[in-house]
A and B are shown apart, each in its own frame.
Chain A
């Protein structure tokens, strides 16, 4: 099966290069890829392909594999590919690059850094958690804080809880644990650690657990559901991606990667491709099964906070990068 020739004008090809890690990570690699696939389903893209990076030294090689094949849009997932992407943009001037989680210090023509206000998402679920906790102890299990989005989630969560406390006049103890004690290869794919940590928090009295950080977070979320406390997911609405936790899934802190990627591909096709930073949306997922466990005033408060964050009347005071 000879692949259609992407160099042709009428063939619109989209390639995706993962960070070191797999495309089926149920997290950002996968969400990004789903955005790409959606573009194909909607007939925007003719050909879509991905390449998984097995070693950081292959970033350039993998990107150029698409570049040389004449792809029109190349999605590079993860902050780690930032420089490789910028370099490639210089090498392939008429290719559009979408850099997921790549904060653009200065604009590079042809590169759109797709970023998200994770701190806001974290802030929302943090507030929710604080308001829903009976023991006034809540926990959060995250991947390494060396990754800014993760750090923003965690600190946002803290800030959100604090905000809720001052609103509600409560004092909530917040456990925030980053999985820093292993290498990069492991920190996002250590569900057992996530589970053990969540359990430990629950033993300590926490009754809401927010898991953020690939599979590690998933481990915490499912463990929480296991122990019957509230679980909060991350990135996508994990009510769907973690069915086993669904019954106790209170909400998810969402960064809408899939639509973000999709929109940028669309713009590229239509010739309205932006360069510099492009901010996707963040939000919190519906309560689903727990709809009627969440008191009306809490729901109201959440809407209020969401609105406040949007119009800037509420700020998380979380810097984009760990100081």
Chain B
């Protein structure tokens, strides 16, 4: 693993946090502030982590996927829709409805991934274009259906948003969650926890199993894989769809874990930041997760700063300006991509359609 990368990440997070602590110390104890920062960081990093994992599976098999944004958006919508259907139309209890919603979200992601796979593998459409198509398609479809179902009179929901079954319940991780103040960090919702577990799983799958070896071979040198009888097309389809499932799970976070409502465009570019996380993480799960945490941290940073707006000392006045603070994650991403923190190398055949 690339320790340089990780130490930089640790450094960035520490700096961000200490700034907040220094500013907020008059208002609250460091321990409370840091706990809250960490809790937020981990939670908001969830869709980024899952998005990045999605990208990793696609691209390790040689398919560039900038459609993650769209996949998450669509999944967020259809997952939420399914949950509501279950709950209001079929009168199923909230929790099962939500779980059904998560499943639906995952499947939606998979479905859009299937489309991406067909475009980029079968029809050999330029893969970045294919991803863009997914993004634009997702915006159109979700916007339109959201309207049709929840506003237009005479729709199945009578033109108004019905009682949503709420969001996934928090899970107190035994013992850890009982720690007095810090416990809050381990009081998280299911998808957040799932994301972290999936990081570990993905790592082992990619680097220590047959599936992983073949996936990476297909992404590095498909002809070589073909020559030893590996079905390149199948491997790519499979991995893109797995990626879709992961993106779908990421989408579920928005409407089933974070808030029980859907907005057109609610993913708000997270899919792209997830891509940046994937690249920064050098296409490896742990690296991507770490990167996702940086973005999570900078988001937590902004939010906390605004709570402490009035006590920001004069010499740091610029921190009072939300617009300027808001730049943090984006500038961070660009610095990362400039390779200041070490060059990244994509899979050799990433983005290249396979021709026999």
Residue of B nearest to A175 (CB): B307
Residue of B nearest to A199 (CB): B40
State the total of A-B contacts with C-beta under 8 angstroms.
109
Residue of A nearest to B307 (CB): A175
Total interface residues in chain B, CB < 8 Å: 44
A24 to B147, CA, bound (A): 7
Is residue B100 within 8 Å, beta carbon to beta carbon, of the partner chain? no
Is residue A218 within 8 Å, beta carbon to beta carbon, of the partner chain? yes
Residue of B nearest to A200 (CB): B303
List A contacts of B35 (CB < 8 A). 203
B36 touches A203 (CB 8 A): yes
Q: Given A196-B40, A196-B43, A196-B44, are A215 and B263 neighbors across the interface (CB < 8 Å)?
A: yes
Interface positions, chain B 33-53, Cβ under 8 Å from A, are 33, 35-36, 39-40, 43-44
Is residue B355 within 8 Å, beta carbon to beta carbon, of the partner chain? no
Residue of B nearest to A181 (CB): B326
List B contacts of A7 (CB < 8 A). none
A219 touches B259 (CB 8 A): yes
List B contacts of A26 (CB < 8 A). 161
A186 to B326, CA, bound (A): 13
List A contacts of B44 (CB < 8 A). 192, 196
List A contacts of B198 (CB < 8 A). none
B303 touches A191 (CB 8 A): no
Total interface residues in chain A, CB < 8 Å: 37
A286 to B260, CA, bound (A): 23
Interface positions, chain B 1-59, Cβ under 8 Å from A, are 27-28, 32-33, 35-36, 39-40, 43-44
Most buried by A among B151, B260, B265, B326: B260
Looking at the assembled complex, report how far the CB atom of A289 sits from the nearest CB atom of chain B, in whole angstroms. 14
A197 touches B303 (CB 8 A): yes
Interface positions, chain B 155-214, Cβ under 8 Å from A, are 161-167, 184
B323 touches A180 (CB 8 A): yes
List B contacts of A189 (CB < 8 A). 263-266
Q: Given A186-B268, A226-B166, A243-B164, are A201 and B259 neighbors across the interface (CB < 8 Å)?
A: no
A196 to B296, CA, bound (A): 11
- Majority secondary structure, B binding face: helix
A204 to B21, CA, bound (A): 13
A24 to B148, CA, bound (A): 10
B184 touches A203 (CB 8 A): yes
B299 touches A196 (CB 8 A): yes
A201 touches B307 (CB 8 A): yes
Is residue B272 within 8 Å, beta carbon to beta carbon, of the partner chain? no
Q: Given A22-B147, A181-B325, A182-B326, are A203 and B39 neighbors across the interface (CB < 8 Å)?
A: yes
Partner of B261, one of A178, A191, A197, A204: A191
A186 to B44, CA, bound (A): 18
List A contacts of B28 (CB < 8 A). 204-205
List A contacts of B167 (CB < 8 A). 222, 226, 244
Is residue A6 within 8 Å, beta carbon to beta carbon, of the partner chain? no
A57 to B266, CA, bound (A): 24
Is residue A195 within 8 Å, beta carbon to beta carbon, of the partner chain? yes
Interface string of B265-277 (1 = CB under 8 A from A): 1101000000000
Is residue A223 within 8 Å, beta carbon to beta carbon, of the partner chain? yes
Is residue A190 within 8 Å, beta carbon to beta carbon, of the partner chain? yes
A195 touches B266 (CB 8 A): no
Q: Given A23-B151, A244-B163, are A200 and B307 neighbors across the interface (CB < 8 Å)?
A: yes
Is residue A194 within 8 Å, beta carbon to beta carbon, of the partner chain? yes
Looking at the assembled complex, report how far the CB atom of B208 sits from the nearest CB atom of chain A, in whole angstroms. 35
Interface string of A183-224 (1 = CB under 8 A from B): 000100111111111011101110000000001001100110
List B contacts of A241 (CB < 8 A). 161
A190 to B326, CA, bound (A): 14
B325 touches A244 (CB 8 A): no
Interface positions, chain B 282-332, Cβ under 8 Å from A, are 299-300, 302-304, 306-307, 309, 322-323, 325-326
Most buried by B among A181, A191, A192: A192
A191 touches B147 (CB 8 A): no
Sample of 8 A–B contacts (CB below 8 Å):
A22-B264, A26-B161, A173-B27, A191-B261, A192-B266, A195-B259, A200-B300, A226-B167
Q: Which residues of B contact A (CB under 8 A)?
A: 27-28, 32-33, 35-36, 39-40, 43-44, 146-147, 150-151, 161-167, 184, 254, 258-261, 263-266, 268, 299-300, 302-304, 306-307, 309, 322-323, 325-326
Taking A195-B258, A223-B258, A244-B167 as known contacts, 9 extra A-B pairs with beta carbons closer than 8 A to each other, sorted by chain A number, are A177-B303, A177-B306, A191-B258, A192-B259, A196-B40, A196-B299, A200-B307, A203-B184, A226-B166
